[in-house]
Amino acid sequence: MSTDRNKTFGKKEHLCKLTLIEQLFGGGAKAMTAWPMRMVFLLVDKKDEQAPSVQVLISVSKRYFKHAVKRNRVKRQIREAFRYQKQELETCMQNYVGKQLLVAFVWQTEQLQPSKLVSTKMTKLLERLVDNIKEMQSETVMKESSL
């Protein structure tokens, strides 16, 4: 039962604040691509203790899909893929107290894709993200030990 509760994607986990979005896309963020998605992420200090450790933005451009129905379908596929696979990312972020991970998923093609493909690409991106975060954590531990 507790595993079903963790597979949610509530309002608090959505990246909505304009200041955080500008910070994410303003520079200094890292990006990875698993076609047809691009992921942009940035580790920032938490402004609010109640804020979740991971906040996500999903973007599907009107340039690729003129009809809102298709854009909404793609966003729904990305949300579903993320909410089923976010547990490892959240456990990795527990090591960063006072930090928050901002993530944006950007769709980059004008073709609709099957949900299974979107899910496998999401898995690939999240695995690479977790590896990258663990790498950043080991680098900070090394810097602290050398001081």
pLDDT tens track for 67-118: 999 999 999 999 999 999 999 999 999 888 889 999 999 999 999 999 999 9
The full set of domain ranges for the chain reads 11-145
- pLDDT of res. 2: 47
Spatial distance between the Cα atoms of 21 and 29, rounded to a whole number of angstroms = 11
Percent of the chain with pLDDT over 70: 94
Q: Which CATH number fits domain 11-145: 3.10.129.10, 3.30.230.10, 3.40.190.10, 3.40.50.150?
A: 3.30.230.10
Q: Which amino acid is at 96?
A: Y
Spatial distance between the Cα atoms of 71 and 61, rounded to a whole number of angstroms = 8
Q: What number of helices (H) and strands (E) belong to the chain?
A: 5, 4
- Is the Cβ–Cβ distance between 16 and 56 less than 8 Å? no
